[in-house]
Amino acid sequence: MADFADYYREIYARGLGGEAPTIPVSIAELELAAIEAMDPKAAGYVCAGAGSEDTMRANREAFAQHRIVPRMLRDVAERDLTTTLLGTTMPAPLLLAPIGVQKILHPDGELAAARAAAALGLPMIASTASAFTLEEIADAGGGGPRWFQLYWPNDKGLLESFVGRAEAAGYGAIVLTVDTFIPGWKSRDLQQAWLPFLEGTGNANYLQDPVFRAALEKTPEDDLGAATGHYLGVLANPSLTWDDLSLLRELTSLPIVVKGIQHAEDAREAAQRGVDGVVVSNHGGRQVDGAIASLDALAPIAEAVGDDLAVLFDSGIRGGADVIKALALGADAVLLGRPYAWGLALEGQAGVETVLKMILAELDLTMALCGYTSPSQLGPDALTGGDPA
């Protein structure tokens, strides 16, 4: 049982020696500092949302609409945030969301994030679109828990290879992202006319895959342009349907989580198709402009599936209080995205660890201040408009 709240004492103790935090504690200031430190193209890519970026704004506004109702005079001296989800035990209900092409933020990219996650025992979800291979990421994370996020290619042999490689590398679940079968309209990226994938960054899992390489006349090292062209040819899969999930189930005994669910009927369909969990997510506002805020979709989905599926959440988490709100509305765990990327941009592995420690400390402290000792105690009654306690 970790006492994450102790991190604030650590900060003050260092302050006695004249040492202030090198990374902004304020999430808003963290974002600004990271943007200033990044290459402008990388900053645009990480911060981009679809269209007018209305969905990104809605994600944050939805959190502001839900208010926590603290309860007093409850014994909260001993708290335990430990959570077990789909066979993976984690010290808190927090995972690192899959973020691709992290090398544009820091030379160590996903390797730094994997090491940071492992240092805290938190699961990292490695993206298919990583700048390092899934095997390299697994090696960097050592014995830490990890899941693999899958973009389903339109090449069956490549799909089988990805899943087999993930199993062999010790990943504990397959997280199938279904909301990115084609790219969203991202004004910032389009204005810069830049995508890292076109330069060979973010497609390491493809370029190093034996099935992918077998389809090339020359190796990617000898002809990156042709390899990139083949990558673009196998990447998109707009014909994917619910019926295809049976193939994925045949390919693996690992838990399958479907990421990108925003409608209760889709969540029910997922349960009927034999998957193990869903991630309520709008891809951080990066796919559909004007879409429903992810948090607004959470409670109806959690109610629709009950105990049939694990329910995870992402899109808009910026602090420990946000985690509490998502858990209260029905999430079993949350995925943290952009904030850890900002830490990566500033200080690599150390930056990611710092951001994670800050989020966990705020989560632990806020739970205590609101009268809770375990994530399992959080329900609608913890928020305004919920059922009375």
Separation in Å, CA 24 to CA 15, 298, 356:
14, 30, 13
**Distance between alpha carbon 283 and the CA centroid of its chain, in Å?**
9
Query: With contact defined as beta carbons under 8 Å apart, do 143 and 124 qualify?
Result: no
Question: How far is Cα 382 from Cα 331, in angstroms, rounded to an integer?
Answer: 13
Q: What is the DSSP string of 264-321?
A: HHHHHHHHHTT-SEEEE--GGGTS-TTPPPHHHHHHHHHHHHTTSSEEEE-SS--SHH
Q: Are 273 and 240 in contact (CB under 8 A)?
A: no
Closest CA to 354 of 120, 145, 125: 120
Around 179, how many Cα atoms within 13 Å sit in the side-chain half-sphere? 25
Using CA atoms, how far apart are residues 336 and 339, in angstroms rounded to an integer? Answer: 7
CB 170 within 8 A of CB 135: no
**Amino acid found at 192:** Q
* Pick from 341, 385, 381, 334: nearest CA to 360: 334
* Phi, then psi, of 327 in degrees rounded to 5: -65, -40
Q: Could you say which DSSP state residue 257 is in?
A: E
Distance of CA 134 to the CA centre of its chain: 16
Q: How far is CA 115 from CA 102, 118, 293, 313, in A?
A: 14, 5, 31, 23
In the annotation, is 283 catalytic?
yes
Residues classed as catalytic:
283
